[in-house]
Amino acid sequence: MVSVLVPFIATLNMTSHASGAEAVYRGAASAQSPVFPVPSDKRIPFAWPSIAIAPASDGGSTHLQWLAKELPPGETIRLRLATALDSRQKLLLEVRLPGESEPLGHFDFNYAPVFQIGELTLTRGQAKRVLEEGVLITRTVGEAPFHLFGPDSRSSSLEDSSKRTSTTSSSERKAIPVLLQPHLMVAGETDRWAVYMERMEGIDTIQPFGWMEGALLDGVWDLGQVTKNEKLNEGFSSRMGLYLRGDQLIYEDPKSFPSDNRVCGIEDSLPFAAIARVHPEHPRIQLAIDFWKDHRRESGFAEGCIVDGGMCSAEGAYTVGYPLMHIGALRNDPQLVAMALDQFRIRQKLLVDEDGGIWLRNSNGRRSMKNWARGVTWYFLGLVRGIAEAPEGTDTRDLRSEAVRVMEHVLRHQQDNGLWRNLFDLPEQTVDTSGSAGIAAALAIGAAEGILPDRARLAAIRTKEGLSAYLTADGLLAHGTPSNRSPEAQSNRRVIFPVGMGLTAQLLAALEK
């Protein structure tokens, strides 16, 4: 569309070798942990290895050890852990060297979903001792059963390799990426956008099925289509293959309970848009259609809205309205298309106030979380994608006017660095990279589809540039607002949040159109 992005296309197709340096992983080789089994009614995704962390009251420690003793060159060093079971309470882990009383630091996994990556900055001296002696992990806050992903003996040789290729064939479905195992990441200067692409080409950033993985599936698909990068397409198939096993849909709900072959809530229906793109006749798509019809309110508050209970949420614009429109158009089903249009119009009525602010939720007339960046994302991105998916001849004039209005609203709140604060109206709030990426994706898609004027695209380019400062040396997106399951989502706590990487991929893809 505009020549300014030609250099960026080249960047998307580069590897980390182009910068003369790369991130190096040293995965832990073994773990000795207390015996606290996974609760019988819960499940670790994909039967990947996990290690128990004793309750705080127990005082027991888990000992991680490494085989490789040589520390690669590089001054950026991170010790990382990732959650394997959902956490619904405050949860703090202390990490220390054996025999030392002073901790190396702490991992905050408060209210963490599965696949939450935490990291701890180490000096080279500390990292050398970690490789030599290992680390002890002790929970200091939290009592509920909790597991981290553990070392995979089948991939222990990876700790001596400089890069983990994580694209996984269906026959290797249960191989866990080293990025999710306990590991040290060591890096010098890297091309951060290039290694971001490497993360997106495989399953390093896999997320729980539902709104989280759905945002990534959309992003990987979009980016693969515009770049013609076959590794992205293979990565998309690998991600899909983890959850779709032939005709079966296998996954855990947000609380780690097995939820095979059913839809648990409106946020779980987003990935069906991606499923329909590559498997339009897949029998499990009917699960989503039946769910949408069964959860459509027939009367009273939010009549016509597809909801969980009595709550109308902004999430539903993206997790229901958009996939419903996509599948309705794909199947030439006027009923589904009409239902999809209702989702956007009802949410406009119930979630937009007299000042033009956008609320995350409306529970029987009580609104909450005004102008929360990720809530604005769900409303705006769902609206724009829904309009773009609407069959030719569908009257979306009112929705297009609303999209332009939302554009004006978000542009008034865009910060100098191209990003948005977590809560627009609170100056003390820091930016949220995940919400910012999602808002910019909506702007860029809207411009690419002719829904929004070109200045929306220019604003999205500013966001892409601003996100660069928050990429880790190995291409993860940091400084994202945590999953919205506690008041911390409205605080200044920030985490590595792969959902933001999926939203970023949607942004990058739309900028290339």
Strand partners of residue 482: none
Q: What tokens were used for 487? A: 């008041």
pTM listed for this prediction: 0.93
Distance CA 1, CA 451 (A): 15
Three-class HEC string of 28-85 = CCEEECCCCCCCCCCCCHHHCCEEECCCCCCCCEEEEECCCCCCCCCCEEEEEEEECC
459 CB-near residues (< 8 Å, 6+ apart): 411, 414, 418, 440, 443
pLDDT at residue number 174: 64
Distance CA 290, CA 301 (A): 21
Distance CA 94, CA 108 (A): 9
pLDDT at residue number 173: 53
- Residue of 340, 363, 333 lying closest to 269 (CA atoms): 340
pLDDT at residue number 194: 96
Helix, strand, coil share of the chain (percent; to 5):
45, 15, 40
Return per-residue pLDDT of the chain as tens, 513 residues.
332 333 333 333 333 333 446 899 999 999 999 999 999 999 999 999 999 999 999 999 999 999 999 999 999 999 999 999 999 999 999 999 999 999 999 999 999 999 999 999 999 999 999 999 999 999 999 999 999 999 987 644 344 333 433 333 334 456 899 999 999 999 999 999 999 999 999 999 999 999 999 999 999 999 999 999 999 999 999 999 999 999 999 999 999 999 999 999 999 999 999 999 999 999 999 999 999 999 999 999 999 999 988 899 999 999 999 999 999 999 999 999 999 999 999 999 999 999 999 999 999 999 999 999 999 999 999 999 999 999 999 999 999 999 999 999 999 999 999 999 999 999 999 999 999 999 999 999 999 999 999 999 999 999 999 999 999 999 999 999 999 999 999 999 999 999 999 999 999 999 999
Distance CA 47, CA 92 (A): 25
Question: Are β-strands 92-96 and 24-27 bridged in parallel, bridged antiparallel, or unpaired?
Answer: unpaired
pLDDT at residue number 154: 62
Condensed to tens digits (0 to 9), the pLDDT of residues 439-490 reads 999 999 999 999 999 999 999 999 999 999 999 999 999 999 999 999 999 9
Distance CA 185, CA 450 (A): 42
DSSP, res 471:
B
Domains of the chain from N-terminus onward = 24-187 (2.60.120), 198-511 (1.50.10.10)
> How many C-beta neighbours within 10 Å does residue 13 have?
13
Q: What is the DSSP string of 405-468?
A: HHHHHHHHH--TTS--BSBTT-TTPPB-HHHHHHHHHHHHHHHHTTSS-HHHHHHHHHHHHHHG
pLDDT at residue number 22: 82
- Listed in order, strand segments (DSSP E) in 246-314 are 248-249, 311-313
